[in-house]
Amino acid sequence: MSDLGKYWYGKTIWPVALAAMVALQMAGAIFGAWMPGPLASPGMLLALAITLVATITDLRSRRIPNWLSYPAMLAGAGMVLAGALTGWSDAMGVPDVMESMGGFLLGATLLGVLYLFHGGGAGDVKLAAALGILLGPGALAGTLLAGCIAAGFGALGVVVLRLLQQAQNPSSGGRLSNALRGNMPMAPFFLAGLLLHLMN
């Protein structure tokens, strides 16, 4: 394969493709799909900021660092408690304490099971738990469902492109098992799922 082919099918293409997908999602949301209320709430802004930073770190290093995950959980819990104590939960765009705990458990459980079966990383578990605190179980479930759909299409694209790469490099064997090797960053699909959930 030529140097240009190696560049196109190598590591660089996946961050570029995923970043383009997220940019399209954000552009569609900004230009008419979002209602101003959910976007303007501090809770949703915090969730979007956390997921955007996680997307950047996941695309760059295939990791969602603890310096993001744990402070995100603490910030979310603090915002939920502040809303509960002041009675401003709705205005702040955060769930009540019980719903927040349910969202935390849902995110940690679902992504924890995937992690046990090598379907994701520990950073994905902590990110889902942090988002669950801010979103509650209902909104988190919608976000994860939309993200899983987006991830499915993304994984299919990865398989197709890697099979094309192997077709040009017979020494790789051209097997589907080879095409499925390697980790795909999940944070961009969390962000896509959150944006898709907001657009509904």
Q: How confident is the model at residue 39 (pLDDT cuts 50, 70, 90)?
A: low
Closest CA to 138 of 108, 100, 111: 100
Question: What is the identity of the amino acid at 72?
Answer: A
Q: How confident is the model at residue 70 (pLDDT cuts 50, 70, 90)?
A: very high
What percent of the chain clears pLDDT 90, i.e. is strictly above it?
Answer: 28
How confident is the model at residue 94, as a pLDDT?
Answer: 86
- pTM of full prediction above 0.75: no
The torsion region of residue 182 among left (phi > 0), alpha (psi -120 to 50) and beta comes to: left
If one compares 185 and 100, the residue with the highest pLDDT of the two is 100
Distance CA 139, CA 149 (A): 16
Give pLDDT tens digits for 132-188.
999 999 999 988 888 888 877 777 777 777 777 777 776 655 444 444 445 678 888
**DSSP assignment letter at 186:** -
Report whether 134 contacts 47 (CB < 8 A).
yes
Say how many residues make up the chain.
200
Torsion of CA 45, 104, 53, 158, to 10 degrees: -120
Residues 67-93 have a mean pLDDT of 89
**DSSP assignment letter at 182:** S
